[in-house]
């Protein structure tokens, strides 16, 4: 096929017909929900997250009504505690983070000129998990069973089963399930950015939104796992009475606070940076010029992400820390303002240098900047520890965080909504309603939250269902309540605007005259993403590259056809985006939804102590995952290569570090290793807390022999797996199968050796935090050995079924990545629990 | 407060500055600012300016992070947070410790060391008028040093969410002249005179002594607050109710009506006259009856 072929309109029409057929969404009342394409899944995701935002907003209105006057009794204290716990948890876990992922699922393929993300079924799985977990957690309030320990869930209030009910389990297990889906989406987005860029889009030509996605997804990868580790310890204490946070048995409530805030602070930037990313897309459009200082903003984003992991302790300034920690974390908390300031001034200076075109999205951006700057400055105030000792846990902090989140998340999202609505639906929203809503939101937010600075400084603590009249806080609180209803009316106007949208006429293509790739989308959008995958030479190709839109539309770039009737996209190299392969993408399927249901069953059934049913559900999950892998991944193509235009011919099968699957495995294991390090942190944290660790009478448990045996077996599993990969690549299929079989035996033996240490030395995990943390580490590692055995068995089966050959060997290569991490986990676990007691 | 005013003024000035830059930015026509000039502005406004301001702020604020100095002879008050009240113990080195609850007295001009902890859940000890807050964490003892510089009454609250009645967990702090404080502490060490009568009998008969101490009687249990000097406290039930006979009687009959989640069982079958008698007896120490 040469370029001239594309001159033939008949050929183009035939190509379009084939593409349309391949990307046709499934129809029908039930079948449509099997869709996996980002255009559909992304929209469901956004709408669901938006729905949870409205729900959490209503909860806030009830709280504000209760607090409108002193000594009110509209709701009981128990209900009020459920309201504020759920408001915070839903806004964070079911709105802010998922909304970022949802918007990214819609936008990322468009921004990268890709047909879809590399793992469409994973996106669908993430969505269904999110929906199920979200309904489970938020529905609990209708049964008066919602979590009531605050979104931070500090033990022992929440771990003592006599002080907290089912709500605590619903929070832990329901949100752990959501966290799993968040990590799944993060993996998808990272691999999407790294491997699915169009040819020529080197890292330094990437749209800034993609940079921010990369940064934020990496943050999710390192921030959520410590919380998942905390969740594990938490539920072990609640369900099995293992005393991690019980001071009377060697535990420490502060361990939870550390694990929670190691997650909780980066979380703030996880929900803030994506909004900055939306600014980075719309500011150049309305300044009619390139963003000034591209490298600066990328470095500032990376710097913010990096620093955000070093300042969690500022949430713990009042826990009695040593002076040196106060000084260090105060300094780090102030330092994070610097990269933030760089990002803000990059936008302002871009507007300065360019020609400002006023529009509704820019109005929202301006308003959110104003609100965010106030929130940022009060943030610097609370970073000063002596000030924080007064302001901490008062309404001053409530004011601060809402200024940050309204200015840094909510209003930018509305800016993005008005900006990108035409991209998704082909129709513009009303400027008049948009401006009305803006002013309601802006005035409401300031009226609601500014007085809270004052009520906080006057001594009003957070999380109180009432306050005495004598304190004279009635006026300020009434103002806040009125403000909250004005915010609500602004949101209602936006909802009205959205509801009217279907009756509006189609807008022009690229209605804002933007320069970035996503605006290739036509108002009557096709499901296929882009007509042909372009060659990128600029950060603003629509502005800078000659005849760009026409060439894309006429299929003059790459992969303009779907000859084999398969959904495909191009994979490129990580740094310089050289085309590497064409991959076949997952088509609509029931598997993602069913797997999400089964996995959700494990978490939900455990909440209600239906352990046997939960076990059945976990076997169902395993079966579904294996089926999904077997039928849906690493398929051997019907031909080795295919032409994609311009004389380029790309392979249809890749394995190892060139392949998206390998990257997904690697990235997932980074998250896994981070969760594991949270547990290891627990072990050494307990050591620093006790003079005598291991405690008197447990000095010799779990002994040296069994941990060292387990360590040797873990390393041997790894050696056998690596050897199998090497032998297999050189054609020694039978020897490789033998080695894999040997690795399975070694991994299974590793399970028993790992558990034998604590078991045979009679360690009672309910007695003290020491045996409890040893058991957790041994269990974690043994479960990982068990998963290794299952994976290796899968590899063996694929080989025996003829689906894995020396040329098509993605399975063994991906499992080897897992084996690397297994070996690391085994070495750290067994050196810690075996050797550390000898030297401590 | 000095620190607060500096921070508030600084933040206001910077917010107005950013606003001004923004207004200039959107009003300046295209082409007035080139790439080099723009990048210089980003460098100065976005990087250098905040770095200088924040470094200065940090260096200026560091000394304030040091706790107030204290010596071994200073008055120590152990405070233990409970759901939802405060257990107190004064130690001044001049005799046995004095146990009390829900109302703190401190001498003006002297350093006072609070050793705060908790056994049930995390609480936080905060007297906004006297100093910062300090968390009360099971298994840890945190230290807060304060010095009141004028006599007066301050309100203290629990600042960390601790359960159903977190909002109803307050206390009064009475800063007294040192001589008056010493006299009070000495008298609190002794046993107050108390009229015997039906109230004392009812207190015993209803099993109140299973949880509460009343000095000078056989009742020495430590589960609930010490009630020896209930009559002198400015409030009832940790800042929740006025210190009157009626509210005391009502609280005895149904504590969790006023304090959801309180451990004290309801005595709803107790006649109101009996509850009033108990209340009168409890409040009768040292001639403070009838208050």
| Model pLDDT for residues A523-564, shown as the tens digit of each residue | 887 888 899 999 999 999 999 999 999 999 999 999 999 999
Domain layout of chain B by residue ranges = 2-65, 75-189, 198-287
Q: In B, which residues are within 8 Å of A337 by CB distance? A: 50, 54
Beta bridge partners of B93: none
User: According to the model, what pLDDT value does residue A444 have?
Assistant: 98
Rounded Cα–Cα distance for residues B228 and B248 (Å):
14
User: According to the model, what pLDDT value does residue B125 have?
Assistant: 98
Q: How far is B179 from chain A (nearest CA, A)?
A: 30
Choosing from A618, A634, A651, the residue where a domain stops is A651
Nearest to A318 among B28, B46, B134 (CB): B134
User: According to the model, what pLDDT value does residue B1 have?
Assistant: 57
Rounded Cα–Cα distance for residues A169 and A146 (Å):
10
Contact between chains at B143 and A346 (C-beta distance less than 8 A): no
Contact between chains at B4 and A387 (C-beta distance less than 8 A): yes
Q: How far is B290 from chain A (nearest CA, A)?
A: 24
Beta bridge partners of B174: B105, B153
Rounded Cα–Cα distance for residues B118 and B206 (Å):
29
Overall fold of domain B75-189:
Immunoglobulin-like (2.60.40)
Tell whether A548 and A601 lie within a shared domain.
Answer: yes
Sheet strands (E) in A286-409: none
Q: B128: nearest CA in chain A?
A: A459
Residues of A201-217 as b/e, b for ≥16 C-beta within 10 angstroms? bebebbbbbbbbbbbbb
Residue-wise pLDDT for A571-597, tens only, equals: 999 999 999 999 999 999 999 999 999
In this structure, the number of other CB atoms found within 10 A of the CB of residue A160 comes to 16
pLDDT for residue A406 is more than 80: yes
Tell whether A728 and A778 lie within a shared domain.
Answer: yes
Tell whether A662 and A646 lie within a shared domain.
Answer: no
Residue-wise pLDDT for A600-617, tens only, equals: 999 999 999 999 999 999
pTM for the whole structure: 0.96
Decide if A115 contacts A109 (C-beta within 8 A).
yes
Nearest to B128 among A157, A459, A463 (CB): A459
Residue (of B64, B164, B174, B157) closest to A395 by Cα position? B157
Per-residue pLDDT 10s for chain B (291 aa) are: 588 999 999 999 999 999 999 999 999 999 899 999 999 999 999 999 999 999 999 999 998 888 889 998 999 999 999 999 999 999 998 889 999 999 999 999 999 999 999 999 999 999 999 999 999 999 999 999 999 999 999 999 999 999 999 999 999 999 999 999 999 999 999 998 887 789 999 999 999 999 999 999 999 999 999 999 999 999 999 999 999 999 999 999 999 999 999 999 999 999 999 999 999 999 987 644 333
Using DSSP, state whether A544 is helix, strand or coil: helix
Choosing from A651, A666, A688, the residue where a domain stops is A651
Residues 169 to 208 of B: which have CB under 8 A from any A CB?
none
Tell whether A672 and A800 lie within a shared domain.
Answer: yes
Tell whether A822 and A678 lie within a shared domain.
Answer: yes
Residue-wise pLDDT for A669-693, tens only, equals: 999 999 999 999 999 999 999 988 8
Tell whether A646 and A668 lie within a shared domain.
Answer: no
Residue-wise pLDDT for A29-81, tens only, equals: 999 999 999 999 999 999 999 999 999 999 999 999 999 999 999 999 999 99
Phi-psi region of A636 (alpha: psi -120 to 50; beta: other; left: phi over 0): beta
State the Cα torsion A155-A158-A163-A167 to the nearest 10°.
180
CATH class name, domain B198-287: mainly beta
Give the rounded distance of the alpha carbon of A607 from its chain centre.
23
User: According to the model, what pLDDT value does residue B286 have?
Assistant: 62
Tell me if A610 is assigned to some domain: yes
pLDDT for residue A1 is more than 70: no
Give the rounded distance of the alpha carbon of A574 from its chain centre.
21
- Give the containing element (helix H, strand E) for A651: strand A648-651
The angle subtended at Cα A700 by Cα A698 and Cα A702, nearest 5°, is 90
Interface check for B147 against chain A (CB to CB < 8 A): the answer is no
DSSP secondary-structure letter at A801? T
Rounded Cα–Cα distance for residues A104 and A416 (Å):
12
Evaluated on CA atoms A763, A765, A768, A774, the torsion sign reads: positive
Q: How far is A352 from chain B (nearest CA, A)?
A: 4
Tell whether A582 and A718 lie within a shared domain.
Answer: no
Q: Which residue has the tokens 């940090």?
A: B58
CATH code of the domain in which A783 resides: 1.20.120.80
In this structure, the number of other CB atoms found within 10 A of the CB of residue B244 comes to 14
Decide if A548 contacts A535 (C-beta within 8 A).
no
Rounded Cα–Cα distance for residues B67 and B256 (Å):
38
Cβ contacts of A374 within 8 Å, gap of 6 or more: A403, A407, B11, B15
Residue-wise pLDDT for A212-236, tens only, equals: 999 999 999 999 999 999 999 999 9
Cβ contacts of A103 within 8 Å, gap of 6 or more: A42, A46, A274, A278, A413, A416, A420
Choosing from A595, A624, A651, the residue where a domain stops is A651
Decide if A725 contacts A813 (C-beta within 8 A).
yes
Tell me if A397 is assigned to some domain: no
Decide if A369 contacts A344 (C-beta within 8 A).
yes
H-assigned helices in A68-197:
77-89, 97-111, 120-139, 166-169, 175-195
Instruction: Indicate the pairing of strand B142-147 with strand B111-118.
Output: antiparallel
User: According to the model, what pLDDT value does residue A526 have?
Assistant: 84
ipTM of the complex: 0.96
DSSP secondary-structure letter at B119? S
Residues of A346-378 as b/e, b for ≥16 C-beta within 10 angstroms? bbbbbbbbbebeebbbbbbbbbbbbbbbbbbbb
Q: In B, which residues are within 8 Å of A237 by CB distance? A: none
Tokens of A537: 């030479």
Decide if B105 contacts A219 (C-beta within 8 A).
no
Instruction: Indicate the pairing of strand B142-147 with strand B103-107.
Output: unpaired
CA terminus-to-terminus distance, chain A: 70
Contact between chains at B33 and A330 (C-beta distance less than 8 A): no
User: What integer is the mean pLDDT of A140-150?
Assistant: 96
Tell whether A661 and A623 lie within a shared domain.
Answer: no
Rounded Cα–Cα distance for residues A720 and A710 (Å):
15
Cβ contacts of A680 within 8 Å, gap of 6 or more: A777, A828, A829, A832
Contact between chains at A381 and B39 (C-beta distance less than 8 A): no
CA terminus-to-terminus distance, chain B: 37
Nearest to A78 among B3, B61, B164 (CB): B164
User: According to the model, what pLDDT value does residue A524 have?
Assistant: 81
What confidence category does residue A727 fall into, taking pLDDT thresholds of 50, 70 and 90? very high
Interface check for B33 against chain A (CB to CB < 8 A): the answer is yes
Decide if A766 contacts A242 (C-beta within 8 A).
yes
Rounded Cα–Cα distance for residues B98 and B104 (Å):
12
Tell whether A660 and A575 lie within a shared domain.
Answer: no
Q: In A, which residues are within 8 Å of B29 by CB distance? A: 355
Tell me if A322 is assigned to some domain: no
- Give the containing element (helix H, strand E) for B171: strand B170-176
Nearest to B54 among A247, A337, A370 (CB): A337
Tell whether A569 and A688 lie within a shared domain.
Answer: no
User: According to the model, what pLDDT value does residue B287 have?
Assistant: 43
Residue (of A142, A250, A286, A119) closest to A682 by Cα position? A250
Contact between chains at A78 and B143 (C-beta distance less than 8 A): no
Tokens of B75: 């008055």
Q: Is the fold of B75-189 the same as that of B198-287? A: yes
Tell whether A789 and A758 lie within a shared domain.
Answer: yes
For A219, A510, A632, A661, A713, the CA distances from A793, given in Å and listed in that order, are 33, 51, 18, 19, 17
Give me the number of domains chain A comprises. 2
Nearest to B167 among A341, A353, A465 (CB): A465
Q: In A, which residues are within 8 Å of B39 by CB distance? A: 292-293, 296, 349
Rounded to a whole number of angstroms, the CA Rg of chain A reads 27
Contact between chains at B42 and A394 (C-beta distance less than 8 A): no
Rounded Cα–Cα distance for residues B243 and B246 (Å):
9
What is the extent of the structural domain holding A557? Answer: 3-26+511-651
Interface check for B54 against chain A (CB to CB < 8 A): the answer is yes
Residue-wise pLDDT for A171-219, tens only, equals: 999 999 999 889 999 999 999 999 999 999 999 999 999 999 999 999 9
Counting one residue from chain A and one from chain B, the pairs whose CB atoms sit within 8 A come to: 227
Rounded Cα–Cα distance for residues B154 and B160 (Å):
19
What confidence category does residue A4 fall into, taking pLDDT thresholds of 50, 70 and 90? low
Residue-wise pLDDT for A433-482, tens only, equals: 999 999 999 999 999 999 999 999 999 999 999 999 999 999 999 999 99
Q: Which residue has the tokens 């009168």?
A: B280
Tell whether A686 and A606 lie within a shared domain.
Answer: no
Average pLDDT score over chain A: 95
């Amino acid at each position: 096929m040469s370029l001239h072929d594309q001159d033939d309109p008949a050929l183009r029409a035939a190509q379009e017909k084939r593409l349309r057929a391949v990307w046709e969404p499934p129809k029908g009342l039930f079948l449509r929900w099997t869709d996996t394409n980002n255009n559909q899944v992304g929209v469901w995701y956004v709408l669901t997250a938006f729905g949870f935002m409205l729900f959490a907003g209503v909860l806030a209105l009830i709280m504000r009504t209760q607090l409108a006057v002193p000594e009110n009794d509209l709701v009981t204290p128990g209900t009020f505690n459920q309201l504020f716990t759920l408001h915070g948890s839903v806004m964070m876990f079911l709105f802010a983070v998922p909304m970022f992922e949802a918007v990214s699922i819609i936008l990322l393929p468009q921004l990268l000129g890709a047909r879809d993300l590399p793992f469409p079924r994973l996106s669908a799985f993430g969505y269904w998990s999110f929906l199920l977990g979200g309904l489970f957690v938020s529905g609990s309030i209708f049964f008066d069973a919602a979590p009531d320990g605050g979104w931070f869930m500090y033990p022992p209030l929440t771990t003592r089963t006599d002080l907290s009910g089912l709500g605590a389990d619903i929070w832990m297990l329901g949100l752990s399930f959501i966290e799993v889906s968040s990590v799944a989406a993060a993996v998808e987005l990272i691999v999407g950015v790294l491997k699915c860029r169009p040819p020529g889009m080197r890292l330094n030509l990437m749209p800034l939104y993609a940079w921010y996605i990369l940064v934020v997804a990496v943050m999710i990868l390192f921030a959520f796992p410590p919380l998942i580790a905390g969740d594990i310890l938490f539920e072990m204490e609640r369900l099995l009475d293992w005393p991690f946070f019980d001071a009377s048995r060697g535990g420490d409530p502060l361990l939870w606070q550390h694990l929670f805030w190691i997650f909780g602070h980066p979380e703030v930037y996880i929900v803030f940076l994506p909004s900055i990313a939306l600014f980075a897309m719309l500011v150049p459009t309305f300044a009619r010029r390139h963003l000034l200082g591209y490298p600066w903003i990328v470095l500032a984003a990376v710097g913010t992400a990096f620093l955000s992991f070093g300042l969690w302790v500022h949430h713990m300034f009042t826990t009695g820390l040593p002076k040196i920690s106060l000084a260090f974390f105060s300094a780090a908390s102030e330092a994070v303002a610097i990269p933030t300031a760089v990002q803000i001034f990059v936008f302002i200076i871009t507007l300065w240098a360019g020609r400002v075109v006023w529009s509704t999205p820019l109005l929202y951006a301006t308003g959110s900047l104003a609100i965010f700057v106030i929130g940022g400055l009060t943030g610097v105030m609370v970073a000063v520890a002596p000030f924080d000792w007064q302001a901490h846990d008062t309404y001053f902090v409530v004011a601060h965080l809402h200024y940050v989140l309204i200015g840094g998340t909510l209003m930018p999202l509305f800016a993005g909504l008005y900006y990108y609505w035409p991209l998704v639906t082909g129709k513009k929203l009303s400027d008049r309603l948009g401006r009305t809503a803006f002013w309601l939101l802006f005035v409401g937010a300031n009226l609601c939250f500014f007085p809270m600075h004052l009520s906080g400084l006057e001594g009003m603590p957070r999380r109180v269902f009432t306050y005495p009249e004598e304190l004279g806080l009635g006026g300020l609180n009434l103002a806040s309540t009125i403000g909250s209803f004005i915010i609500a009316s602004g949101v209602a106007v936006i909802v009205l605007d959205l509801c009217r949208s279907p009756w509006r006429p189609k807008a022009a293509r690229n209605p804002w005259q933007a320069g970035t790739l996503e605006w290739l989308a036509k108002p009557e959008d096709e499901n296929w993403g882009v007509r042909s995958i372009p060659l990128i030479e600029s950060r603003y190709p629509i502005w800078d590259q000659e005849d760009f839109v026409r060439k894309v539309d006429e299929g003059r770039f790459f992969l303009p056809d779907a000859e084999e009737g398969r959904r495909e996209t191009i994979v490129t190299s990580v740094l310089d985006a050289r085309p590497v392969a064409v991959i076949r993408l997952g088509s609509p399927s029931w598997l993602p939804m069913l797997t999400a249901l089964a996995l959700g069953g494990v978490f939900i059934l455990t909440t209600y102590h239906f352990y046997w049913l939960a076990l059945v559900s976990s076997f169902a999950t395993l079966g579904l995952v294996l089926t999904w892998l077997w039928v849906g991944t690493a398929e051997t193509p019907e031909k080795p290569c295919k032409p994609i235009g311009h004389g380029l011919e790309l392979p249809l099968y890749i394995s190892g570090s060139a392949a998206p699957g390998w990257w997904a495995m690697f990235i997932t294991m980074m998250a896994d290793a981070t969760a594991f390090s949270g547990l290891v942190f627990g072990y050494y944290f307990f050591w620093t807390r006790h003079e005598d660790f291991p405690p008197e009478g447990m000095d010799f448990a779990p002994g040296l022999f069994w941990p060292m045996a387990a360590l040797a077996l873990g390393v041997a599993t790894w050696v056998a797996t690596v050897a199998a990969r090497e032998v297999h690549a050189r054609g020694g299929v039978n020897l490789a199968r033998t080695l894999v079989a040997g690795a399975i035996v070694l991994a299974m033996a590793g399970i028993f050796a790992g558990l034998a240490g604590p078991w045979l030395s009679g360690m009672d995990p309910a007695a003290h935090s020491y045996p409890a943390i040893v058991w957790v580490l041994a269990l974690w590692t043994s479960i990982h050995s068990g998963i290794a055995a299952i994976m290796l068995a899968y590899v063996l089966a694929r080989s025996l079924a003829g689906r894995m050959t020396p040329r098509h060997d993605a399975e063994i290569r991906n499992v080897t990545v897992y084996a690397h991490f297994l070996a690391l986990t085994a070495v750290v676990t067994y050196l810690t629990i075996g050797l550390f007691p000898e030297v401590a | 407060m000095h620190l607060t005013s500096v921070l508030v003024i600084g933040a206001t000035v910077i917010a107005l500055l950013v606003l001004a830059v923004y207004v200039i930015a959107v009003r300046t026509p295209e082409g007035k600012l080139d790439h080099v000039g723009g990048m210089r502005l980003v460098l100065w406004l976005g990087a250098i300016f905040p770095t200088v301001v924040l470094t200065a702020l940090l260096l200026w604020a560091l000394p304030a992070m040091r706790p107030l100095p204290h010596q071994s002879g200073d008055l120590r008050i152990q405070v233990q947070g409970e759901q939802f009240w405060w257990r107190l113990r004064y130690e001044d080195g001049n005799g046995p410790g004095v146990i009390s609850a829900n109302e703190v007295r401190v001498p003006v001009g002297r350093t006072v060391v609070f050793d705060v902890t908790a056994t049930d859940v995390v609480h936080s000890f905060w007297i906004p008028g006297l100093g910062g807050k300090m968390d009360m964490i099971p298994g840890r003892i945190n230290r807060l040093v304060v010095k009141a510089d004028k006599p007066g009454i301050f309100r203290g609250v629990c600042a960390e969410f601790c359960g159903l009645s977190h909002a109803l967990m307050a206390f009064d702090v009475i800063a007294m002249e040192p001589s008056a404080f010493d006299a009070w502490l000495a008298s609190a060490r002794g046993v107050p005179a108390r009229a015997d009568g039906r109230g004392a009998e009812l207190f015993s008969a209803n099993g109140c002594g299973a949880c509460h101490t009343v000095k000078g009687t056989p009742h020495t249990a430590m589960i609930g607050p010490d009630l020896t000097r209930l009559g002198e406290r400015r409030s009832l039930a940790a800042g929740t109710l006025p210190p009157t006979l009626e509210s005391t009687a009502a609280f005895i009959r149904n504590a969790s009506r006023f304090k959801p989640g309180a451990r004290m069982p309801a005595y709803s079958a107790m006649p109101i006259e009996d509850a009033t008698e108990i209340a009168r007896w409890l409040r009768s120490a040292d001639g403070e009856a009838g208050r």
